[in-house]
């Protein structure tokens, strides 16, 4: 994705496309996997943790990325589909590879509806499958 496309997308989602935000979003979208704050921090040595942090937060608030907690201790962020509103229908399984540490969206696997016992209401869900990915097998 080009800088220009990214800037357009940010604007579309009501996030002012600053240089930093463009950079962060581009890295995320081009990586093809979920990245943590620390992952991003490493990729561009000279940008401040808090700046990246705040960029991620505004992406999250505007449904551009969703958090994935794969159990490694740091929350990762994956880019949302264009039409995502991060509601129950956009939820999907995530896969965490224990060999390469890569975490990715499995949009082809929506999170199955569960019949909860009486009295429970369903708001959100996280479904993380841990195993080994094709690259590492």
Partner DNA sequence: TTAAACTTTGCAACAGTGTTGCACAAACTT
Partner DNA sequence: AAGTTTGTGCAACACTGTTGCAAAGTTTAA
Binding mask 67-86 for DNA (x = CB under 7 A): ------xxx-----------
Q: What is d(CA 29, CA 78) in angstroms, rounded to the nearest whole number?
A: 8
Q: Tell me: does residue 74 bind a copy of itself (CB under 8 A).
A: no
> Residue 111 in contact with residue 102, Cβ under 8 Å?
no
Q: Tell me: does residue 124 bind DNA (CB under 7 A).
A: no
**80 exposure class (CB count in 10 Å sphere: 0-12, 13-18, 19+):** buried
**Which of a copy of itself, DNA, Mn ion, none does residue 54 bind to, with CB < 5 to 8 Å depending on kind?**
DNA
For residue 22, count other CB atoms closer than 10 A to its CB.
18
Nearer Cβ to a copy of itself (53/122)? 122
Nearer Cβ to a copy of itself (16/119)? 119
In eight-state DSSP terms, residue 117 is P
Nearer Cβ to a copy of itself (9/104)? 104
Strand partners, 66: 78
Q: What is d(CA 69, CA 13) in angstroms, rounded to the nearest whole number?
A: 24
* Binding positions for a copy of itself, rule: CB under 8 A: 69, 71, 93, 95, 98, 106, 108-109, 111-112, 114-134, 137
What residue ranges bind DNA (CB under 7 A)? 16, 18-21, 36-38, 47-51, 53-55, 73-75
């Amino acid at each position: 994705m080009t800088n220009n496309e990214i800037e357009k997308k940010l604007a579309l989602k009501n996030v002012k496309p600053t240089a930093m935000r463009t950079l962060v979003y581009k890295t995320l979208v081009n990586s093809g996997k979920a990245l943590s704050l620390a992952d991003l921090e490493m990729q561009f040595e000279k940008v401040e943790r808090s700046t990246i942090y705040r960029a991620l937060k505004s992406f999250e608030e505007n449904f551009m990325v969703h958090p994935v907690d794969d159990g490694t201790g740091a929350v990762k962020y994956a880019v949302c589909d264009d039409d995502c509103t991060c509601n129950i229908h956009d939820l999907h399984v995530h896969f965490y590879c224990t060999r390469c540490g890569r975490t990715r969206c499995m949009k082809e696997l929506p999170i199955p509806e569960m019949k909860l016992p009486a009295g429970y209401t369903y708001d959100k869900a996280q479904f993380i499958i841990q195993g080994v990915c094709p690259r590492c097998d």
